[in-house]
Structure formats: structure tokens, C-alpha cells
């Protein structure tokens, strides 16, 4: 696809990198010449310097023949204007990033009335992911498929886990749990385990299961945690606004520490049941005075990654509690992964995953659409959900008879309200949703997991 990305900030660069790697023709646009030159040179793509909301600049970027324009500048209003211009100037689809909470409730209206392909909100998506983790504090990460009927849960094996030293085959026979272990991450990288794979201490394990089966499995492997009743949030930005709304509905009390007086007043006015403390969260005395160590969970959401990392390490040092850290920059992902940080949230990755899923869905050819896409193990593994059509080559044949590529796993089959844990005799039918786990493959269609199309 020919894709124009307006805005060369952190989100724009992540999108340029991932969509370029997918084999698309990318052109980036920004008014800051240095940003355009940096991204264009780094990824060997086209760059245009100028205001992406003007007809002249969009024409120079090739909007007349483009398939998609993605507006991810720092201004919601500018993003919407870019999309309107693109819809008028060419026949391409348009995606706008919206982060202001004031526009959140109008997202569907804006999408439909302006004829946009999608309105994305990384901050709201990050808040939703944080809420899912706080509801299930045992997990490092919780993602959902099929409207919550199926969960992808990632957790670190506890030292006393019954899994340690056992093979996957023996563990599943012994535990009799209706879950599927899809990936295991350790120092030597990510593994899609087979039956003879042996678990070790500190393994990071991802499972696919229904919410009830996941809870049962964690209990059986001695992974227990207390429910989260209250949380300390550091930073009062957009994610915190969305998070306060979600936590209120979940019955979790929130306390916010923010140094900007104006932001504190706004939060206190909007969320009367939230405790807002105006102070410098990087001051250890402030953290101790506000008894952060007494909270069940700690969420670091400042705009500076280094602050979030240091604050999270401080919180972990103060006792056993759930710690969630927001990271914007991905350049030091390998270094960050070596720190004992608990759960990490990457808002930029959430945006990229959503748009990559949309692009792949528009490229499918054999009767299936990608519905959901998640990255695991620092991008080594992809977990995708496909909606299966009538002409899909995977239908009507037992899984044991299909010829899958290496490092491919069918993680779940969702039929109506029922989740089916795939066995060799299972058959995929048209109308099913299928969750796949792949390493180094990046499938666009369900047929891409097969060695040969039947």
C-alpha cells in the first residue's frame, strides 16, 4: 500500500518503521525538517517537509494515488483537518489520532460523519490495558479477544511454581487445565513451546484461555495475588484522565501525585472521588509523606521515561505491590527488559498494532480478516485473531491434516460464545474466529500460516 504519515513524532516513527517493514511504500510529512530527514534516512523512505494539512503538501506527498493517510501530529484538530483534506484531495482512506479526553466520547461520531477509516486514541488504549492488568494483578500483561471471551495473559513463573522442572506435556496432563501455553520467554529469546519443552524459574509465560480457565490455571501453579483496592498514579496527563474513569467503574480507588497546579485543579474538579496531591513525584520525601508504599499498586505515567523507570524501581523496593510503568521510547527496549520492572505499557506500540492490523486486513486475499493483533516478547512473536470466511483454505480440515509453517500455533478457535482449545481433531468452520501465534512470520491472512494452500 502507498501510505502517507503526517507527524514525525514518536508515534509517527514507530508507524513508519513497522509499516515500512511490512513492505508498504511510506512517505512521512512534518514541518520540522530535521525530523523528516532523520526518519526518511533511517528507514530509507520518502519525506516531505511542510504542513500536512495543506493541499499543496499533501499533493507533493502523493495523496492523489495514496491508499491511506495517517495523521498523528500532536494536535487533534490538525489531525482531523489533515484527514478532511486527504478525503477531498484523493480517494485514500484516512486515520486520525485523537488524544484529548474532550473528544473521546465523540470518536465514533467523528469517524462516521467525516468518513474516516478509524479514529485511534493511544492514551485511552493504554488506560484500558492498565485497567485490565490491575483487575488481574498476577499478570504482566492481559489482552483480550472476541469481546473478552478469550484472554491472552502473560506472567512470570513464581519460584515455587509447580511448573518448574516439568515438561509442557507432563504439566498439562497433571494440571488438567483448559489453557494453551503459547510462548515462553527467557534470556535466550522467545519460544513457541512443544510438548518436550521444560519450564524453568523466572520464565515469562503467555497463555490463551477463557477468563475462568486462566484463573483456575494460575491457582493450580501456586500463583496467588490479592485484589487491587487502591492505586497510586504518578502524573496527571491524558492517560490518567481515562484511567480515573475506568478505575472508578472497577471500584478501585485512585490517588494522583502531579506537580502542575493547573492540572491538579482540573483533575480534582473532574474526579471528585479521586485524591489529588500537588507535589513533585520525583521527591522521595513527597512519596513517603503520601504513603505510596501503602498502596496496592503503583502506576508511573509521567512524560519522562527515565522518571517512570526510577519511580517504579523505588516503588518495588518499598514492598510487594503491583507496579506498572509507561514507556514512550522504544530505542532502549533491550536494556529496559533487563530491569525488574513488572508490567510495562508502550502506548506507541498499541497505536502501531491497531494500524498494522488495519493495513493487513485490507490486503487479505483468501477469505479471512484480521480482527486483533498483539506483539509479545519485544516484537518477536505476534498473536493475531482472524475472522474466517467461506473461502478460507483452513476450513473443513482437521488441524492435524493441515501443513503449518514452523513456529506457528493455533491458539484458540472461537465459535459463537464458545472457546475451543485446539486439538488435532478440531476443525475450523466459516464464521469462526481463530487466534494464531507466530514467530518471524507477520501473517496478513490466515492462509499465511500454511506451508501450502490446500
Query: Which domains are seen in the chain, by residue range?
Result: 2-120 (3.40.50.720), 140-220 (3.30.70.1450), 230-345 (3.40.50.720), 351-449 (3.30.70.1450)
Q: According to the model, what pLDDT value does residue 430 have?
A: 94
In whole angstroms, what is the distance from residue 278 CA to residue 256 CA?
Answer: 8
Does 453 have pLDDT greater than 60? no
pLDDT of 315-347, one tens digit each? Answer: 988 888 899 999 987 666 777 777 878 899 988
pLDDT of 120-131, one tens digit each? Answer: 998 999 999 999
Does 419 have pLDDT greater than 60? yes
Backbone φ and ψ for 422, nearest 5 degrees, come out as: -65, 130
Does 159 have pLDDT greater than 80? no
pLDDT of 216-235, one tens digit each? Answer: 888 888 777 788 999 999 99
Average pLDDT value for the chain: 90
Among the listed residues 314, 430, 377, the one whose alpha carbon sits nearest the alpha carbon of residue 154: 377
- Stated pTM of the model: 0.85
Backbone φ and ψ for 371, nearest 5 degrees, come out as: -100, -40
Q: According to the model, what pLDDT value does residue 15 have?
A: 92
CB 339 within 8 A of CB 306: no
Side-by-side strand order, sheet with 418-420? 368-376, 381-388, 433-439, 408-415, 418-420
In whole angstroms, what is the distance from residue 88 CA to residue 446 CA?
Answer: 34
Let me know if 289 is exposed, middle or buried by CB neighbors in 10 A (0-12, 13-18, 19+): exposed
Question: C-alpha grid cell for residue 18?
Answer: 513497522
Q: According to the model, what pLDDT value does residue 161 have?
A: 82
CB 449 within 8 A of CB 370: no
Could you tell me which residue, 319 or 422, shows the higher pLDDT? 422
List the single range of 25-34, 89-98, 253-262 with lowest mean pLDDT. 89-98
**Placement of cell 480457565 in the chain:** 213
Cα dihedral 260, 266, 268, 269, rounded to 10, equals 160
What integer is the mean pLDDT of 275-286? 92
**Placement of cell 473532574 in the chain:** 270
Angle separating helix axes 347-361 and 10-21, nearest 10 degrees: 40
CB 321 within 8 A of CB 263: no
In whole angstroms, what is the distance from residue 188 CA to residue 366 CA?
Answer: 36
Q: According to the model, what pLDDT value does residue 204 have?
A: 92
Q: According to the model, what pLDDT value does residue 331 have?
A: 67
The CA–CA distances, whole Å, from 292 to 124, 296, 339 equal 25, 9, 21
In whole angstroms, what is the distance from residue 434 CA to residue 242 CA?
Answer: 31
What integer is the mean pLDDT of 353-368? 77
pLDDT bracket for residue 454 (50, 70, 90): very low
CB 156 within 8 A of CB 140: yes
pLDDT bracket for residue 252 (50, 70, 90): very high
Amino acid at each position: 500500500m502507498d501510505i502517507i504519515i503526517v507527524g514525525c513524532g514518536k508515534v509517527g516513527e514507530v508507524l513508519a518503521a513497522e509499516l515500512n517493514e511490512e513492505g508498504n511504500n511510506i512517505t512521512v510529512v512534518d514541518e520540522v525538517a530535521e525530523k523528516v530527514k532523520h526518519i526518511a534516512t533511517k528507514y530509507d523512505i520518502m519525506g516531505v517537509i511542510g504542513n500536512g494539512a495543506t493541499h499543496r503538501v499533501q499533493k507533493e506527498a502523493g495523496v492523489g494515488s495514496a491508499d491511506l493517510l495517517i495523521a498523528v501530529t500532536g494536535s487533534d484538530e490538525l489531525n482531523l483537518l489533515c484527514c478532511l483534506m486527504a478525503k477531498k484531495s484523493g480517494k485514500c482512506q484516512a486515520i486520525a489520532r485523537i488524544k484529548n479526553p474532550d473528544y473521546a466520547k465523540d470518536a465514533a461520531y467523528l469517524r462516521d460523519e467525516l468518513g474516516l477509516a478509524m479514529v485511534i486514541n493511544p492514551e485511552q488504549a493504554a488506560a484500558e490495558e492498565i485497567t485490565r492488568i490491575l483487575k488481574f494483578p498476577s499478570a504482566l500483561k492481559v489482552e483480550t479477544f472476541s469481546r473478552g471471551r478469550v484472554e491472552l495473559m502473560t506472567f512470570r513463573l513464581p519460584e515455587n511454581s509447580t511448573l518448574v522442572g516439568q515438561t509442557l506435556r507432563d504439566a498439562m496432563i497433571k494440571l488438567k487445565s483448559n489453557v494453551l501455553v503459547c510462548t515462553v520467554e527467557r534470556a535466550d529469546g522467545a519460544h513457541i513451546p512443544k510438548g518436550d519443552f521444560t519450564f524453568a524459574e523466572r520464565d515469562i509465560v503467555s497463555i490463551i484461555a477463557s477468563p475462568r480457565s486462566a484463573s483456575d490455571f494460575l491457582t493450580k501453579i501456586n500463583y496467588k495475588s490479592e485484589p487491587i483496592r487502591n492505586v497510586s498514579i504518578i502524573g496527571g496527563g491524558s492517560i490518567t484522565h481515562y484511567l480515573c474513569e475506568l478505575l472508578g467503574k472497577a471500584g478501585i480507588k485512585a490517588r494522583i501525585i502531579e506537580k502542575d497546579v493547573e492540572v491538579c485543579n482540573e483533575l480534582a474538579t473532574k474526579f471528585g472521588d479521586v485524591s489529588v496531591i500537588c507535589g513533585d513525584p520525583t521527591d522521595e520525601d513527597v512519596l513517603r509523606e503520601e504513603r505510596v508504599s501503602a498502596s496496592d499498586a503503583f502506576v508511573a505515567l509521567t512524560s519522562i521515561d527515565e522518571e517512570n523507570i526510577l519511580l517504579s524501581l523505588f516503588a518495588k523496593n518499598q514492598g510487594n505491590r503491583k507496579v506498572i510503568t509507561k514507556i514512550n521510547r522504544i530505542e532502549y527496549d533491550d536494556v529496559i527488559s533487563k530491569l525488574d520492572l513488572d508490567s510495562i505499557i508502550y502506548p506507541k506500540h498499541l497505536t502501531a498494532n491497531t494500524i498494522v492490523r488495519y493495513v493487513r486486513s485490507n490486503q487479505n486475499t483468501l477469505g479471512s480478516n484480521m480482527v486483533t493483533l498483539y506483539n509479545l516478547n519485544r516484537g518477536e512473536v505476534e498473536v493475531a485473531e482472524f475472522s474466517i470466511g467461506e473461502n478460507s483454505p483452513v476450513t473443513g480440515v482437521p488441524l492435524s491434516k493441515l501443513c503449518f509453517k514452523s513456529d506457528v500455533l493455533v491458539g484458540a478457535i472461537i465459535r459463537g460464545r464458545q472457546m475451543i482449545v485446539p486439538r488435532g481433531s478440531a476443525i475450523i468452520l466459516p464464521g469462526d474466529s481463530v487466534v494464531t501465534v507466530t514467530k518471524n512470520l507477520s501473517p496478513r491472512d490466515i492462509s499465511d500460516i500454511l506451508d501450502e494452500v490446500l
